[in-house]
């Protein structure tokens, strides 16, 4: 827990990738502190990633519990947007959590650009994977600090450009203190949509080749979700993107959709192909849209 007291640079890599809320963040610190499996191997190196992802027979279960993922294999091309859909608890979040090495798999391997992720220095790996999820982690600093923690060298111009692309610039400009406005306990209250935009602005600034969007807009009302989907579509351009979505409308345009069930990847293909196949996806689709 002393990691919280360290310089913000030290926290970066940690906060950036905490799995679920502060509980997940704490758990992640514990993992960092105690799990010797998740540490740099002697041959770990910095690698500049392009984002070709390959899971080879990946099997994983949380400690002492039954396996969540059994022998999963999949591959994703650089720049491709792949959506994971399927019942709650099927393992979609778990599947994506293995990529930044939040957990160590029990068997199998994951490669990025042909390099086993265990051979990539953790900081190098995690600094090149951006995660946007439902709960945005905010600390009670300024808007600037909240946008930049992934990139402390950023200039105001770069920050405002990221805010613009996330459609947050208008909001920043209308605050009396602009980027220096304090958010959090004593500061302005951000709406759910503004928090997501802040998270998206962070990612534009961080500019990672790989992006994980885990139910990023699930908590928003439909109108706000539609508006934010535009920013997310822009954000995912040119990056390998793994999207987990509950509302199927948001992933219709994915390059590929994979249906995750407890049995594994049950179906994959484009929206139209999966509708035509009249399998699980098509049933999920008609259940949501009638």
Give the DSSP letter string of 119-166. Answer: GB-HHHHHHTEEEEESS----SSBHHHHHHTT-TT--HHHHHHHHHHT
Give the binding range for Mg ion (CB under 5 A) out of 7-15, 91-99, 169-177, 202-210. 91-99
Q: Measured from the CB of residue 267, what is the shortest distance to ligand ADP in angstroms?
A: 15
Kindly list the strands in the beta sheet with 256-261, ordered across the sheet, starting from the edge strand earlier in the chain. 129-133, 210-214, 240-244, 81-85, 256-261, 264-269
Question: Which SS3 state, helix, strand or coil, does residue 183 take?
Answer: strand
**Which of ligand ADP, Mg ion, none does residue 65 bind to, with CB < 5 to 8 Å depending on kind?**
ligand ADP
Looking at 68, 117, 166, 198, which residue binds ligand ADP (CB under 6 A)?
A: 68
- Using CB under 6 A as the binding criterion, the count of chain residues that bind ligand ADP stands at 10
Considering only the C-alpha atoms of the chain, give the largest distance between any 2 of them, rounded to a whole number of Å. Answer: 55
Interaction residues for ligand ADP, span 36-65 (CB under 6 A): 62, 65
Query: Which structure tokens are listed for 241?
Result: 């993107």
Q: Which residue is nearest to Mg ion (CB)?
A: 93
Site string for ligand ADP, 70-99 (x = CB under 6 A): ------------------xxxxxxx-----
- 93 touching Mg ion, by CB under 5 A: yes
User: Does residue number 104 form part of the binding site for ligand ADP (CB under 6 A)?
Assistant: no
Alpha-carbon Rg for the chain, nearest whole angstrom, is: 19
> 97 or 148: whose CB is closer to ligand ADP?
97
- Least distance in angstroms from the C-beta of 8 to ligand ADP: 26
The enclosing H or E element of 171 equals helix 169-174
- Where do contacts with ligand ADP occur on this chain (CB under 6 A)? 62, 65, 68, 88-94
């Amino acid at each position: 827990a002393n990691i919280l007291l360290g310089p913000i640079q030290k926290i970066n890599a940690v906060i950036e990738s905490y799995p679920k809320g502060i509980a997940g963040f704490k758990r992640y610190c514990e993992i960092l502190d105690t799990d010797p499996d998740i540490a740099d191997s002697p041959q770990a190196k910095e690698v500049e990633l392009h984002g070709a992802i390959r899971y080879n027979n990946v099997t994983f279960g949380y400690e002492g519990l039954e396996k969540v993922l059994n022998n999963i294999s999949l591959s994703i091309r650089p720049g491709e947007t792949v959506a994971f859909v399927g019942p709650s608890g099927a393992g979609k979040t778990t599947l994506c959590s293995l990529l930044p090495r939040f957990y160590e798999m029990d068997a199998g391997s994951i490669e990025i650009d042909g390099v086993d992720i265990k051979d990539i220095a953790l900081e190098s790996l995690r600094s090149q994977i951006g995660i946007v999820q439902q709960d945005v982690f905010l600390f009670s600093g300024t808007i600037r600090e909240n946008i930049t923690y992934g990139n402390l060298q950023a200039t105001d111009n770069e920050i405002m450009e990221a805010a613009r692309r996330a459609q947050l610039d208008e909001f920043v400009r209308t605050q009396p203190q602009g980027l220096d406005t304090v958010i959090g306990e004593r500061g302005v209250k951000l709406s759910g949509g503004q928090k997501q935009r802040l998270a998206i602005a962070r990612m534009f600034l961080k500019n990672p080749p790989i992006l994980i969007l885990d139910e990023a807009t699930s908590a928003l009302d439909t109108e706000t979700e539609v508006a934010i989907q535009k920013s997310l579509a822009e954000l995912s351009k040119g990056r390998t993107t793994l999207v987990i979505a509950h509302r199927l409308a948001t992933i219709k345009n994915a390059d590929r959709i994979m249906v995750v069930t407890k049995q594994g990847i049950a179906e994959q293909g484009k929206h139209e192909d999966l509708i035509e196949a009249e399998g699980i996806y098509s049933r999920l689709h008609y259940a949501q849209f009638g």
